[in-house]
Amino acid sequence: MNVWQHMTEPMANNGDRSSTSDKIRWRAFRTVVNDLHEVWGFRYALLNLTSGQLKTTYQGTALGMLWGVLNPLLMLGLLGMIFSQIVGRDIPDYPIFLFCGLIPYTFFSSSITSASSCLFRNRKLITKYRVNYMIFPLSSMAAGVVDFSLKTIAVFLLLQFFHAGISIRLILLPAAILLLSLFTTGIVLASMALVTMFRDLEHILSVLLRMLYFASPVLMQPNMLGQYRWIMDANPLSYHLRLFRYSMFQRLDYVYWPTGMEWGITIASSLASLLVGYLIFKRYERRLIFQI
Amino acid sequence: MNEDSYSKSSDASIHLDGVSLRFLRYGQGVRSFRRVLLDALRGRREKPSHDYWVYQDLSLRIRHGERVGIIGRNGAGKTTLLKLITAVYPPTHGQVRVTGKVTPLLELQAGMNMDLTGLENIYLVGSLLGWDRRRIQEKVPEIVSFAGLEDFIRTPVRCYSSGMATRLAFSIASSMDPEILLLDEVFAVGDQEFTPRAMEKIHALMDVSHIMVLTSHNLKHIRELTNRAIWIDRGRIMLDGDPETVCQAYEHSLNPKPPNPVFCT
């Protein structure tokens, strides 16, 4: 049992050049399988870390979960009141529009912020046990998804006061949550590795997230940006937010299904983010322990 | 101990082949992206301020049934060696090959979450050690009664006294059947009632483990508990062999002259 072996093992070179790319492919495949196997081996640890994090978030009280949901709702209500008078005049049902953008965006940005420091938070554990580092961002993501889903339910109930209605499009909601979670997981893997290696990236990251906030359709529709509309159109997060919004915004007079291209962009961007995030993580994996 | 009783499972072993381990530090311990970016613009690379080889070309074989004591001064690399065996550190060069399940008893409280209850922590730490749910469930009563925490097991660990937390951590870590047992100076656990029981438990663990590696500054422990001692100094093996011989050589290196019997009062 040598857990680092699959990465230290030198490429067997017996002069057979034609099969080199096959070997690289085989090695990449083995690395992925090995990682999945390790994470699966730690599935109970993953579960326990997740429930631990949820308990810390909700402070182990019955009302804690309620507060976790009420807090952002009050904030949302305030923002809704203010912005519906400023930017929202051209958007019908602006509070609903805003809620359906803020909930997934907050999930996205808080997942990244909390997961980038997860190795530091678990420093003692990592320097004692050999664990696959991926269980920390994954457990942080899992706790985030549970929190996100609860808030979505709460907002959905609240939106009924604004006559958001219920329609068949609700079946899109699980897909929207799943795709956004996968998209976020990839970014989280990369940001965890990079922030651990270069610690000042944490500050740069928060600036980037703030910029992304205005480059995503959270407060505004793309057409409100005028000639800068392309920024929102080029941002894959916009399509994830829109998919989420479609499934929550249920008024019958807005019956509208996501187009094939929108499905394509959300699915492709999730897979691309997972792949790139995993590659960045693997690039730094062996050096992370020396930086925490 | 009957050596034959071990051979029912496959033999445990630890192989270190030409292992080197290098610690790099940048600036105040962390690398800054701003610095890397500026250096990249100027076309140079930041040099690590601290470039330190803990081990260079270390080869070591530990076979089934051996009880190895590791001695050496502070900073000699004793704990680092244990962490190489646990695979916490990836070797910079060389290979570490370990057959058998490694059970580290290093920093006992490392995996615990203070916000969770004692019971939840048993599940958390147990799962980090790689046990499955059913195995932990079976062990829970034993762990709780050994720690003597029946009344507090549903209380968050942050409300425990430090002694109670240590007792729980020790009971969890010591409740499995280790194949390769790594001990790092864990001989002072808890109060006067708990310490003898903890010692007894450690001895029991040593008896069932296939390989035991122990670091200690207390040469008495090394002489009593091991059948092979390794003296490490600055990442090099100075002497490897019979515990008595190695301990004597080590003691001699610490006090070249016989100790002065005059004490200040």
Summarised one tens digit per residue, pLDDT across range B28-57 is 656 777 777 777 777 777 666 677 888 888
Q: What is the pLDDT of residue A267?
A: 95
CA distance B180 to chain A (A): 12
Q: What is the pLDDT of residue A62?
A: 60
CA distance B78 to chain A (A): 14
CA B41 to chain centre: 44
Q: What share of chain A is helix, strand, coil (3-state, %, to 5)?
A: 80, 0, 20
- In contact, A241 and A101? CB cutoff 8 Å: yes
Residue B176's CB is within 10 A of a number of other CB atoms, namely: 20
- Show which of residues 65-124 on chain B sit within 8 Å of chain A, judged by CB atoms: 83, 86-91, 95-102, 104, 106-107, 109-111, 113, 115-116, 120, 123-124
Please indicate whether residue A95 or residue B64 has the higher confidence score (pLDDT). B64
pLDDT tens-digit map of B162-195: 888 888 888 888 887 788 888 887 666 667 778 8
CA distance A229 to chain B (A): 31
Name the residue facing B98 among A1, A49, A129 (closest C-beta). Answer: A1
**pLDDT band with cut points at 50, 70 and 90 for residue A136:** very high
Structure tokens at A146: 């549970």
Q: Which of A128, A200, A201, A286 to mutate to test the interface with B (most CBs of B within 10 A)?
A: A128
β-pair partners for B53: B22
| Chain B neighbors of A198, CB-CB under 8 A | 30-33, 36
Q: Do A128 and B86 touch (CB under 8 A)?
A: yes
Q: Do A199 and B34 touch (CB under 8 A)?
A: no
| Distance from C-alpha of B36 to C-alpha of B27, rounded to nearest angstrom | 12
- Asked if pLDDT for residue A147 goes beyond 60, the answer is yes
CA distance B19 to chain A (A): 12
Q: Is the Cα torsion angle A19, A24, A25, A26 positive or negative in sign?
A: positive
Average pLDDT over residues A9-32: 66
- Asked if pLDDT for residue A8 goes beyond 60, the answer is no
Q: What is the pLDDT of residue B187?
A: 62
| Distance from C-alpha of A280 to C-alpha of A185, rounded to nearest angstrom | 13
Average pLDDT over residues A247-271: 79
Structure tokens at A98: 């805003």
Name the residue facing A48 among B24, B88, B127 (closest C-beta). Answer: B127
Q: Do A124 and B110 touch (CB under 8 A)?
A: yes
**pLDDT band with cut points at 50, 70 and 90 for residue A218:** confident
Average pLDDT over residues B185-212: 80
How far is the first Cα of chain A from the last one, in angstroms, to the nearest whole number? 25
- Asked if pLDDT for residue B150 goes beyond 90, the answer is no
Number of H helices and E strands in chain B, helices first, is 8, 9
Mean pLDDT, chain B, rounded, equals 82
Identity of the highest mean pLDDT range in A245-254, A268-277, B62-71, B97-106: A268-277
β-pair partners for B93: B20
Q: Taking Cα atoms as reference points, which of A112, A134, A108, A110 lies closest to residue A122? A: A134
Q: What is the pLDDT of residue A184?
A: 96
Q: What is the pLDDT of residue B259?
A: 56
| Chain B neighbors of A60, CB-CB under 8 A | 115, 156
Q: Give B236's Cβ-side CA count (13 Å radius).
A: 3
Name the residue facing B86 among A8, A130, A291 (closest C-beta). Answer: A130
Q: Do B124 and A197 touch (CB under 8 A)?
A: no
* 8-state DSSP, B65: T
What is the count of residue pairs from A and B with beta carbons less than 8 Å apart?
A: 107
Mean pLDDT, chain A, rounded, equals 81
| Distance from C-alpha of B119 to C-alpha of B143, rounded to nearest angstrom | 10
**pLDDT band with cut points at 50, 70 and 90 for residue A87:** low
| Distance from C-alpha of B69 to C-alpha of B185, rounded to nearest angstrom | 11
pLDDT-wise least confident of A31-45, B8-22, B248-262: B248-262
